[in-house]
Amino acid sequence: MPAARRGGLLSECLARAASAAIVTLFCTAAAAVAYPEFQTFAEKHSGRPTNCAMCHVSPDGPIGDGDGQIGSLSESEMARLNKARAALEPGQDVDSPILNEFGNHIIKALGKSKVLELRNDPAKLVEALGTKSDLDGDGIPDSLEYAEGTDPLNQFHGEPWRLFVNNLSREKVHVFLALAATVALVFGLSNFIRGINVLLERRLGGD
């Protein structure tokens, strides 16, 4: 192979390696800008242990090569990630592959700029999100689930008393019907037993 050709191939390989290194460095740096302040607040406020899975796909956060982490993303997923990172204002379409439904909801509802601002006072995320969103439909607003350190995407995970009250209110018709059926059953059984006793007493009296 001519020396010029070898030199050209070598230059191309070096350029690709440099490009890959730059991309890796950029991704690692961007991923390193995670927001542990929100997790720390939820843990301290609620007394419950929480992990990155509250907002991220991976419970270990965005850094790494596992599912839902930067190192495993395809080219199209990287495009989705960069689009989500550019969603500085609220109301934009957000579908980050490293965030779960709740994480994407936060960015869409508030915008990336507001989220960055709230890092200085993560308690204010509760007020910023409001009480209208309830992604898992358990009756507890996502903002309160964040503050209480429970999973906003799991309808069976929440503050027990709140879940009980909400489920009781939601299923009150079924609860009423169940209670009515139980009362009717007890009433019927008690009358059945009373009737048997009356028959036995009559038979014994006749004997």
Q: Is the dihedral of CA 164, 167, 173, 174 positive or negative?
A: negative
Q: Of how many residues is the chain composed? A: 207
For the stretch 86-108, pLDDT in tens is 999 999 999 999 999 999 999 99
Nearest to 87 by CA among 72, 105, 60, 100: 105
pTM here is 0.67
| One-character DSSP codes across 14-78 | HHHHHHHHHHHHHHHHHHH---HHHHHHHHHHH-----GGGTBSSTT-S-SSSTTSGGG--HHHH
Q: Is 193 helix (H, G, I), strand (E, B) or coil?
A: helix
When pLDDT is averaged across residues 138-145 and rounded to a whole number, the result is: 94
Q: What is the pLDDT of residue 11?
A: 58
Q: How far apart are CA 80 and CA 96, in angstroms?
A: 6
Is the CB of residue 137 less than 8 Å from the CB of residue 35? no
Is the CB of residue 86 less than 8 Å from the CB of residue 94? no
For the stretch 105-122, pLDDT in tens is 999 999 999 999 999 999
Q: What is the pLDDT of residue 173?
A: 54
Q: What is the pLDDT of residue 23?
A: 38
For the stretch 43-82, pLDDT in tens is 999 999 999 999 999 999 999 999 999 999 999 999 999 9
Is the CB of residue 57 less than 8 Å from the CB of residue 97? yes
